[in-house]
Amino acid sequence: MGLDRAFFSWLRRVPNRLFFTVHAIHKHFDSFQQVYDERYQAKYGYWRPIIEQSVSAYLKCGDLQEGFARVRCPDCKHEMFVAFSCKQRCTCPSCHQKRTLLTALHVGE
């Protein structure tokens, strides 16, 4: 029962709420990518293409302009738009939390 309550405490990512984070990534990611080989490659290894893909997906996560599904309740006929998520672990805090809670529900059964 406690896990069920934990699942419902998850909230979807709303891009406008995380304005500072998204703004910082938009502003600095290109320069980070340009200096990566010089500053960080010796310690962390070569630049992996998945890094750019992951950051790009994170920036699009939860944004209705990037795509959505229209959901309708069969009982009350209430409709709402649900933005697509990136489904990334570790990069996106919202998707990571959701996946963690779903895994906990599965393990708890």
Q: Is the dihedral of CA 29, 31, 35, 39 positive or negative?
A: negative
pLDDT, mean of residues 42-61:
89
Check residue 89 and report its DSSP letter: S
Whole-structure pTM value: 0.65
What does the alpha-carbon distance between residue 82 and residue 75 come to, in Å, rounded to a whole number? 18
More confident residue, 100 or 36: 36
Q: What is the pLDDT of residues 1-46, one digit of tens each?
A: 444 554 445 455 666 555 677 778 888 999 999 999 999 999 999 9
pLDDT, mean of residues 71-78:
88
What does the alpha-carbon distance between residue 15 and residue 57 come to, in Å, rounded to a whole number? 12
In this predicted structure, what is the pLDDT of residue 7? 46
